[in-house]
Structure 1
Amino acid sequence: MPRQARTALAVSLACALAACSFGPNGDAPAMPQPAHYGAEALPTQTVPAQGVTQQFVAGAKPVPEWWKLYRSDVLNALVDEGLRNSPTLAATDHSLAAAREQLRAQVGSSLLPTIDAGGQATRNRALAIPEAGPNTFLYNVFVGQLQAHYTFDLFGAARLANAALAARVNVQVYQLDAARRALAANIVTATITSAALHAQIDTTERLVTLANDQARDTARRYELGAVSHADLLSAQQNAASVSASLPALKQQWLTTRHALAVLIGRTPDAAPDDIALAQLHVPEQVPVVVPSELLRSRPDIQAADAGLKAAAADVGVATAQMFPSLSLSASMGQGGFSWPVALSGAGAIWSIGASLSQPLFHGGALLAQRRAALETYDATVSQYKQTVLAAFQNVADTLAALEHDAQSLDAANVAARSAQGVFDDTSARYRLGALPVASTRSSEQQWRNAQLDEIRYTSARLTDTAALFQAMGNPPVDQTDAASAAASASVGTTNGDPANGDPANGAPVN
């Protein structure tokens, strides 16, 4: 072999083996690892509120089915029903299944030979040859053959394209996981909100009754000349203001119940009954994943990472398209002008050939496509960084909210207990005839208003706890088998063996 030919062959083989270097490696960029999530250091626990102190367990793993920590069988049943019956989840799951099948199809078509069978029977009329006379020729043609075609993936264009599609399948896998977790969190939040609104409505209805009774008593006292007209108008205004707040509460309550019904896959008229707010117990221990582990536990960050790998593979594809392409084709079969001849040994036909193409001039399109792929990759890197920063912010906000919720709830609880004590004392003195009924109503109004604040802060604490569990993500899984699946997909695995973590069967590919 001539020296120049050997050199060219060596260069081609080296380029083929280094196809992965045609673009970025797709590794996630290094991100800052903050000492603590928020602007202030994380406390070890919240202040006690309603007798419960929440512990922040630093370095703990996320809890997969965290809603069970609320210790409500009814809530657990609602979440399970929603995860089973949600049309949104079902649509996302079917879309993911379709993406896996598309990956399977692309791997099979790009890295394995194609073989097709064909048959043809025609009746032909040809013009006569002038030297042979004026007659035309009529004849039949019978052909049956197998055709095979294979394109060598010398520079990894097909493997890189398959890796890009596999990474995009992974994006959908993580998005489905995120959708499941978001659905569970929405069901928990809607259940808590509905229970809190129900309690607020009951308390507000009592306030409306008290305000109306006070307005009627003031009207009778005005008729007797015991109070001024301004006192009467003030009592009537107070009663109307309290009454005006009730319809908005009921509307918000019904809207929440309708939303909860749809979340669990029911029609709004079949909304579940409310849970009593006292039946929901705030979890006493909440995990706080360290920032480095958060990158592996949050499905939104994992989806951004998979998108990064897809964009890197796209750069490799755009680069590989600038190199030569080698294809082989072959066919064999039988043919003839009659069936007996076509089926005999004399009718055997075959062909074999090879083609090599090298792009020379495409008007700058190939270079522009590669530059576009690089710009897209850079944009994906920035999107990944923003996703991580947003996740850190999400955790920081929910941690701060829990601490402040506990402080507000503790203060509201003290105020409600104090107001109830005043009401009890006033009621006792009223029964002894030492105070008028108006004093009893006034003290009860103060107590009920304090109750409303306590209900709101109780709801906020429960829902913010759910938000923190949601922000922690899922426990990280071992990605060894998933990485092996990526390698299998890139070299043309098409049988979809679940034991090997084939992305066609649902294992994420990294």
Structure 2
Amino acid sequence: MATFAISRYPRIAALAGAACALAACSFGPSGEPPAMPQPAHYGAQAQPTQTASAQGVTQQFVVGAKPVPEWWKLYRSDALNALVDEGLRNSPTLAATDKSLAAAREQLRAQIGSSMLPTIDAGGQVTRNRALAIPEIGSNTFLYNIFVGQLQAHYTLDLFGAARLADTALAARVNVQAYQFDAARRALAANIVSAAITSAALRAQIDTTERLVTLANDQARDTQRRYVLGAVSHADQLSAQQSAASLSASLPGLKQQWLTTRHALAVLLGRTPDAAPDDLDLAQLRVPEQVPVVVPSELLRTRPDIQAADAALKAAAAEVGVATAQMFPSISLSASMGQGGFSWPVALSGAGAIWSIGASLSQPLFHGGALFAQRRAAMDTYDATVSQYKQTVLAAFQNVADTLAALEHDAQALEAANSAARSAQGVFEETSGRYRLGAVPVASTRSSEQQFRNAQLDEIRYTSARLTDTAALFQAMGNPPVEGGTGTAAAASNAGTATRNAQ
């Protein structure tokens, strides 16, 4: 470790600083995301411009539109809006994620302050000492006091960018958390919407199934009476009982799904399960007629998960630079000034002034291969992060492709189910009218109503699927791109800018 006066060599120091600054630029990868394919359309088949018409609604795919921030309001349900607002406001999970992000930002500020700026500390010391006797001088021991007070300053020159790159890496990690918070917030909204729709659909299915159970039990009792009278066979009587029992057996599972969904919705809202909200009216929910379809190239800027993967890539690149910079020399400057003496009067006088100034240079020579291994590990981590970024983008493309296809197929299935339900309802109404005129027996009316209720069940399921898959597509589109860096993750990015400015 060498100590010398830097001020004697200003030209050498300037040249060394410039050379080191240039060297730092090539210490690691750039951190730019790899080029990804830009498909003409998301799925294996070209996406249509609109879905089939179902229940009188045709959904339009607006290609090139920006994502909708509060997309759940397009369902035009005040009750649903209130649930989402409550969840975003009261969710403990979201609050914990928010506080973790705030803590990460403060840690970044702390690291930037400690690495980019000098440290100055004040210290004071009062000691009483006993020295051993020196035979040549005398046999008495010496007792004396020492009074010292001083200011100490220390600063490490970041010649090779190790501190700057470490701050950049941490800033990128904070960005990862910021984008994850954005993703968590949107996922919470989507989960609340899906849970509320599913709960409403299950409640409607339960009501319809209970009516089917009542009809099946009536049919079983009627068949039992007819069997006693010898009008039907024993097999017919057993078949009617079996149908009624099978329908009754399906109800407990359906109710369990409904209660589980309600409990999950309550927790998403920050409530206890016993305070689960009332079910929405499924018939009052309006499927959004226009849904945005972000082009693949723009999706890289709107999906928080892709943005988080991009930030992780930049962090890994900076960490390669840190591992490289640690192999180069480190120069530290230190200075102190204060007062000291063997008594208070001396310590406070001009004779007690003490000061020091110096510099130290440290160059790693042999660390058992640890530094090279750390750099290779950082490079391998960076390569893994590149692959993870690619996989995240491909998964996002698949997510959008799946939801687009689901909406088209939901509309087709719902239109068929709606047509079947209308036809079954017409048959039931006509049969009921004929029964009131005495033209058909009650069994015919009961059978036609059973067909109508079963068709209703299918329509409820496909209605629920269309509503929830629409929510999934809005979620898949991500956040609107923020121009000028004012979004949630921008605060972390601003901290990264502060790192560069401090340099």
- TM-score category by the smaller chain? over 0.9
1:336 corresponds in structure 2 to: 341
Report the alpha carbon displacement of residue 13 of structure 1 after superposing the two structures with TM.
Answer: 2.2
- CA-atom RMSD, angstroms? 1.5
> Please, which of 352, 355, 358 is the counterpart of residue 353 of structure 1?
358
* 1:486 match: secondary structure: helix
Aligned positions of 1:246-395 closer than 5 A = 246-395=251-400
Tell me the alpha carbon deviations over residues 387-440 of structure 1, each in whole angstroms, 9 at most, x when there is no partner: 000000000000000000000000000000000111111111111111110010
> Please, which of 225, 234, 253 is the counterpart of residue 239 of structure 2?
234
> Aligned partners of 1:318 and 1:179: how far apart in 2?
32
2:498 corresponds in structure 1 to: 488
2:475 corresponds in structure 1 to: 470
CA contact (8 A) 2:167 2:496 kept: no
CA contact (8 A) 2:108 2:495 kept: no
Tell me the alpha carbon deviations over residues 100-138 of structure 1, each in whole angstroms, 9 at most, x when there is no partner: 110001000001100111111111110111111111111
CA contact (8 A) 1:159 1:491 kept: no
> Aligned partners of 1:6 and 1:117: how far apart in 2?
33
Report the alpha carbon displacement of residue 26 of structure 1 after superposing the two structures with TM.
Answer: 0.4
Aligned positions of 1:178-257 closer than 5 A = 178-257=183-262
1:447 matches 2:452: yes
2:421 corresponds in structure 1 to: 416
Report the alpha carbon displacement of residue 8 of structure 1 after superposing the two structures with TM.
Answer: 9.5
Opposite residue 207 of structure 2, the aligned amino acid is D
* 1:332 match: secondary structure: strand
Report the alpha carbon displacement of residue 363 of structure 1 after superposing the two structures with TM.
Answer: 1.3
Tell me the alpha carbon deviations over residues 212-244 of structure 1, each in whole angstroms, 9 at most, x when there is no partner: 001111111111111111111010000000111
Unaligned 5+ residue runs, structure 1?
494-510
Q: Which runs of 4+ in 1 moved over 4 A?
A: 5-9, 479-485
The percent identity for this pair of structures is 86
Report the alpha carbon displacement of residue 292 of structure 1 after superposing the two structures with TM.
Answer: 0.5
* 1:282 match: secondary structure: coil
> Aligned partners of 1:35 and 1:99: how far apart in 2?
39
Unaligned 5+ residue runs, structure 2?
1-9
The answer to which of 363-372 and 391-400 deviates more is 363-372
CA contact (8 A) 1:304 1:383 kept: yes
> Please, which of 23, 27, 31 is the counterpart of residue 22 of structure 1?
27
* 1:396 match: secondary structure: helix
2:6 corresponds in structure 1 to: none
Opposite residue 296 of structure 1, the aligned amino acid is R
Report the alpha carbon displacement of residue 15 of structure 1 after superposing the two structures with TM.
Answer: 2.7
CA contact (8 A) 1:160 1:490 kept: no
> Aligned partners of 2:174 and 2:17: how far apart in 1?
31
> Aligned partners of 2:110 and 2:17: how far apart in 1?
28
> Aligned partners of 2:426 and 2:502: how far apart in 1?
76
> Aligned partners of 2:196 and 2:497: how far apart in 1?
45
Aligned positions of 1:53-64 closer than 5 A = 53-64=58-69
> Aligned partners of 1:289 and 1:20: how far apart in 2?
35
The structure-2 alpha-carbon separation of the partners of 1:62 and 1:384, relative to structure 1 and needing over 3 Å to count, comes to same
> Please, which of 34, 37, 41 is the counterpart of residue 32 of structure 1?
37
> Aligned partners of 1:430 and 1:59: how far apart in 2?
56
Report the alpha carbon displacement of residue 18 of structure 1 after superposing the two structures with TM.
Answer: 3.9
> Aligned partners of 1:449 and 1:414: how far apart in 2?
13
Report the alpha carbon displacement of residue 10 of structure 1 after superposing the two structures with TM.
Answer: 3.8
